[in-house]
Structures are given as C-alpha cells and as structure tokens.
Structure 1
Amino acid sequence: MNRRDAIRNVAILLGTAISASTLSALEGCNPKGPDNYALKAPETKKILAEIAETIIPETTTPGAKAAKVDEFIVLMLNDCYKPEDQQLVLDGLKKLNEASDKQYKKPFVDLTAEQKTELLTAVDKERVDYNKRENKKEGDPAHYFQILKELTLTGYFTSEPGATKALRYVPVPGKFEGCIPYTKGEKAWAV
C-alpha cells in the first residue's frame, strides 16, 4: 500500500472526505519552486502547532504537538501544495489571528484552550458554510481550515504516536480476520 492509499484510508476511517487541494497534493510531491519561508517562520509553526493541538488535544493519548504535526503541515504545504494554496493557508492564519484579536484582544497562540476551541469551532462553521454555498464552482479553492484539518488528521494518524497510541496497532499482524467484532468506544485499527 502506498502513502496516498494509506491517507485515503485514514480519511475514510475518520469519516471525512479529502479536499481536491489535498488530494492533488497527494498525487506526488513535486516541488513547484523554492520553499515558502513564510511557512517555516517560527510564528507560523507556533500557530500551526496550537491549531493542530486544539483539533487533536492530548488526553490519555499524545496530542498533535507530541506527534509534531506542525512540522508535517509545513513540510506538506512546502513540498506538495501549489503556491496559491500555500498563500491561502497563510492568509487564513492571518484572518484567524485578526479574529482572535477582535474577539479576545490577544493573538491566537495566547488564548486559553476553551477560547481556541470556541474560535476554531466558529471557523469550522464558516468552512462548512463555504463548502455548502450555492454559487460554488468546480475548481474553487478549498477553505484554508479544510486544508489545515485534513493535514492535521493525516499527519497525526500517520505519525508514530497517532498510529501506535491513538489507534490499535499490531507491528507484526497475524492471520487475516475479515470480521472482527467492534464495540462502540474501542480504538480503530492502524493497519
């Protein structure tokens, strides 16, 4: 199984679809030019880490920060996404900070966990409304939060902590059993 199939399977497992931007990025990582250093800036990586940790917080399993999902997001955006998609994410991060300043009078990274969740919930509702709009056309850019959520989930569940601690993992699987009973609340299988 190649990485693209694995990522698609993770998306299906999580009950979500992958946007066209992310799917086209998974076609193959062909750098479009020099790195976008704005993505590698410490303040960008810090806000990406906070967004990812808000989406997948540390509980009884490691969170997105422990899985270094922010580094995965930066790598994927730089190596696999078109410059216009990179700019879409950077502009979205700017909008998120502006909304944070407007609502809480401080940058996103300085908010409490509850405030971050509240703000990202509002952004996610905006993303859903954006995707459901009537005048949506084929080829329209994805919402920046769609890209960030997809990369967060992909980065986490394909990382060692995500695959081995959040999912059930057997490093050397035994025989194939097609029908294994599943009890609600159990972890899903990593492989």
Structure 2
Amino acid sequence: MPTNSNNIELASQTIDEENRRLFMKKMVALFGATTASAVLSGCSVSATKQLATQTVSASKNGELLSEQQMTVLYSICETILPRTDTPSAVEVGCHKFVPHQLQHCHSQQQQNDCIQVINAIDRLAEETFSKTFPLLQPQQQQQILLQIENNQSATSIPKEHFKFLKALIVFGYFTSEAGATQALNFQTVPGGFVGSIPADANTKSWGSRAYY
C-alpha cells in the first residue's frame, strides 16, 4: 500500500515532468524543434553519463575555447541578452556556461560547430568593419549577428549552428538564479490553484527548479 511519502514523491515527479514539457514547448517555439532537442538532449542524465566516458575536447591549456574566442563569446552573450531591468547574459555567467556545457554535455561535432560560428562572427566583423567583434559598437554587433542568423553574410556557416549557440546562451540564462527568479516569475513553494490569471504580452513566464 503506498505511503504518504511515496504519494508526495510521485506528485513531485509529475509536476517536474510537466514543467520540463512546458519548458521544451517554449524552447521549440523560440528556436524550432531540432535546435531545442539538441540543447535539451545534451542535458539528460543518459547523455551526460555517455559523454562522461569520452575524452573531453580541449586546447593545450585545458579549455575548449581560446582567449580570443572567449572574448568574442562574451560579446555575443552581451549582444543577445543585454542588461535591461534584469541582469545581462554576461552578468549571470552565460559566457562561462556555454563552453562548460559544450565540453561536458554535447558531442565533438556540436563543439566544433559552435567554435566555427564564433570564429565566423569574428571574421565577418573584421571583413565588414575592419575590427574584431568585441571592439564593434553595439549596433554593429547586432548587425553582424542578424546577418549570420538571416543567411545574409558571405560565411558558409549554416544559420542552424548559430541558432544552436544562441539556444545554449538562452538556456544558460533562464536556468541561472537571476534568470529563473528575476526574468521569469518564480514561486519556490507552490500555493493554491488559481484558475484564471490576467495576462498580456508583457506577462512573465514561470521559472522552475525542474529546468536544472
């Protein structure tokens, strides 16, 4: 006969699964099914166990990205999610989250795809404005990223690879403490059920610990 503790645990698992499905739907709406699946599948326990047995790709200093690539990634994060009334992607550490996530939760091919995108963005900045990407003005940085995303640049990088990198940044942001509790609504302990809540285009989505 099930005990109260078993019932509570089962209910908690059900809520977590519903939250994960809701988060997946939002990721699919934002980036498309393929990109969302690639990001979230790398976060599964089975994928993590499988990749844990593989040799982690790294440069000679033990890091996936070079110092210049990290600087470019820093600027990409700042451009995609700048500070508004909530912290920026850089402030919550997305530029550190991305290479860590790639190394430990994603395939060699996905790592290479992201590195190529970062290099392509910096190269396009040099070709367009004769400056490296981090030295551009914010409007110029936005222009470069939009060219990559809309396939308007001369680079051979598929826009799906850029979408994957962007999805990693967004995923890192909304699973950070600040992203989950400030950019999203957050309720640590669920309260009573309210069947109808006024909402408009500015209403925040809900954050959850289940995303981690």
Scaled to the shorter chain, the TM-score interval is: 0.7 to 0.9
TM-score (norm 1): 0.81
Is 1:175 paired with 2:192? yes
Is 1:122 paired with 2:147? yes
* Aligned residues with identical type, % of pairs: 27
Q: How do 1:60-79 and structure 2 match up within 5 A?
A: 60-79=85-104
Q: Give the Å deviation of 1:59.
A: 0.7
Q: Give the Å deviation of 1:142.
A: 7.5
Query: Cα gap change, 1:11/1:123 in structure 2, threshold over 3 Å: closer, same or farther?
Result: farther
Secondary structure at the residue paired with 2:89?
A: coil
Q: Which has the larger radius of gyration?
A: 2
Identify which of 85, 94, 99 aligns with 2:124: 99
Give the total of aligned pairs: 178
Correspondence for 1:143: 160
Q: Give the Å deviation of 1:162.
A: 0.6
Q: How do 1:1-16 and structure 2 match up within 5 A?
A: 9-13=22-26, 15-16=29-30
Q: Give the Å deviation of 1:72.
A: 1.0
* Structure 1 stretches lacking a partner, 5+ long: 128-140
Correspondence for 1:46: 71
Q: Give the Å deviation of 1:5.
A: 7.4
Identify which of 131, 141, 158 aligns with 2:175: 158
RMSD, aligned CA = 2.6
Aligned partner letter, 2:179: G
Identify which of 43, 62, 72 aligns with 1:26: 43
Question: 1:156 & 1:106 partners in 2: Cα distance?
Answer: 28
Query: Cα gap change, 1:91/1:33 in structure 2, threshold over 3 Å: closer, same or farther?
Result: same
Secondary structure at the residue paired with 1:182?
A: coil
Greater length-normalized contact order (CA 8 Å, ≥ 6 residues apart)? 1
> What's the CA shift string for 1:87-134, capped at 9, x where partnerless?
11111211111110000101111111111111101111129xxxxxxx
Query: Cα gap change, 1:160/1:55 in structure 2, threshold over 3 Å: closer, same or farther?
Result: same
